Amino acid sequence: MTDERIKGAAEQIAGKARNGFGRLTGDRRLQLDGRMEEYRGRARDAYGRVIDGLDGLVAKAPGRYQDTARKGLDFARRKPLLTTGIVAGLAVVPGGLGRRR
């Protein structure tokens, strides 16, 4: 389990607690903050699961590709937001190419 998954689980728990406390006191701002923190935790946990899965794939890759794959994975660990943006952009490009006017 990566640090991202642990941090994500902790954020989810803290967000649920904050949301519940906000509901208990009637503070809508606290509820919103709690929900946002919970969603951030879910996103971080999902990112951690993806990194864990990719780690397993790198281990199964042929030897000549493992070094390059590990470099890419290290980049993804160091720059999670940039990596997410790159992946999202790559997902949008084929969708845009498939549409014709």
Work out the number of other CB atoms within 10 angstroms of the CB of residue 96.
7
Residue 19, sorted as left (phi over 0), alpha (psi -120 to 50) or beta, turns out to be: alpha
pLDDT tens-digit profile of 28-81? 999 999 999 999 999 888 888 888 888 888 888 888 888 888 888 888 888 877
pLDDT tens-digit profile of 51-63? 888 888 888 888 8
2 phi/psi in degrees, rounded to 5 = -85, 165
pTM of the model: 0.68
In angstroms, the Cα distances linking 13 to 18, 47, 62, 78, 80 are 9, 17, 39, 25, 22
pLDDT of residue 37: 94
